[in-house]
Structure 1
């Protein structure tokens, strides 16, 4: 059962994500995606990331924590696929993705290859996605596929059910940052540098909003 302080912490994170999601929705209205296959597929994946973000928000607001947690993997996958399609994929790979050709595109069988290619494209200047996947992928899959971590949290004593406050805050922050990164990529695809700069600034502001506070949603409780 969550304490009063824990409930307040979740409510604060929900309010923060609600404001962010509304702002990102406004940003999206200013961007048009080109009609060629690469940009359409990449933009579609990234737009799905934003929808997952809103779904996680609404499900958590409704106390449907299991369904919200089940989207933790999907929001990560949709973002990495979108970024990979735009920044990394060859024309043949884009075609293989469009045709769901698992033989020609092993990434569809091993999603870690999307992240590997992204980090190579970035010249390994950032390994955030790889570190995140290495640390949390099994946990995200357990929640997505109703593994023991998901099933074992179904019968709590209050509206939190059995979900830990750190897990809920971690999920909300994952959705927040991946939504920001997705909108940044969408802005670049649409050639909207002003939107891209606004999103980059908002990302910095979002980080600063809790940079000096105790960060409880680190996901450490997931790994226990």
Structure 2
């Protein structure tokens, strides 16, 4: 039997609240801020897309966007906090940034990421994220039932995808708030996130 999942309306409400929280943030116009904020905005866009896709029971595509959201967030923070001016310039002209491991290594030398949470996320989830993005065996396993080729995801897996998307969507908003030197917005977003997750 194909997966059925009803998305709680609070997911869209939370998504919209996050977007409104930074609508009016003014930021410096330098290149570093522009490229870093663009990456963080793309991470937010992926969060939005995941919510919409889940609401329409398009599970494969929603799962595939997890890696995209994570990468956009990590690249945004690396550009904001670690990249040299030359690396920012090169990235803005289309050059690839360093690989994920090196981005995380650089980021986790900064005080904001010293607890190495992002490395733990990568260690625990990267293989699955890649399998979902690149249609690996792990993803294909979720498309077979005894009766047909159809989505066969566990509701708890779908909830994990939503939670992951919301976590990095919120963190991306916090990153934009810090680029705008708006600690109040960052604090409000973190407080709302804790209220939503109970953490």
Match of 1:222 in 2: none
- Deviation for aligned residue 1:92: 1.4
Bigger shift: 148-157 or 32-41? 148-157
Contact 1:46 1:183 (C-alpha < 8 Å) held by counterparts: yes
Match of 1:179 in 2: 169
Change (3 A) 1:126 1:17: farther
Correspondence list, 1:173-212, <5 A: 173-208=163-198
Match for 2:31 among 34, 37, 40? 37
Q: Determine the C-alpha separation between the residues in 1 that align with 2:105 and 2:94.
A: 20
- Deviation for aligned residue 1:203: 2.0
- Deviation for aligned residue 1:207: 2.6
Bigger shift: 172-181 or 124-133? 124-133
Q: Determine the C-alpha separation between the residues in 2 that align with 1:151 and 1:124.
A: 34
Contact 1:155 1:162 (C-alpha < 8 Å) held by counterparts: yes
- Deviation for aligned residue 1:111: 1.5
Match of 1:220 in 2: none
Q: Determine the C-alpha separation between the residues in 2 that align with 1:127 and 1:85.
A: 18
Contact 1:2 1:165 (C-alpha < 8 Å) held by counterparts: no
Match for 1:141 among 109, 115, 130? 130
In the alignment, structure 1 residue 117 sits paired with structure 2 residue 106: yes
- Deviation for aligned residue 1:15: 2.9
Match for 2:17 among 6, 14, 23? 23
- Deviation for aligned residue 1:163: 1.3
- Deviation for aligned residue 1:33: 3.1
Aligned residues: 197
Give secondary structure in 2 for the equivalent of 1:163. coil
Q: Give runs of ≥4 in structure 1 deviating > 6 Å.
A: none
* Alignment TM-score, normalising by the size of structure 1: 0.80
Q: Determine the C-alpha separation between the residues in 2 that align with 1:37 and 1:123.
A: 22
Q: Determine the C-alpha separation between the residues in 2 that align with 1:81 and 1:70.
A: 18
Match of 1:84 in 2: 78
Higher relative contact order (CA 8 A, sep 6+): 2
Q: Determine the C-alpha separation between the residues in 1 that align with 2:184 and 2:128.
A: 37
- Deviation for aligned residue 1:152: 2.5
- Deviation for aligned residue 1:2: 8.1
The two structures, once aligned, show a CA RMSD in angstroms of: 2.2
Change (3 A) 1:2 1:151: closer
Change (3 A) 1:149 1:39: same
Q: Determine the C-alpha separation between the residues in 1 that align with 2:112 and 2:16.
A: 33
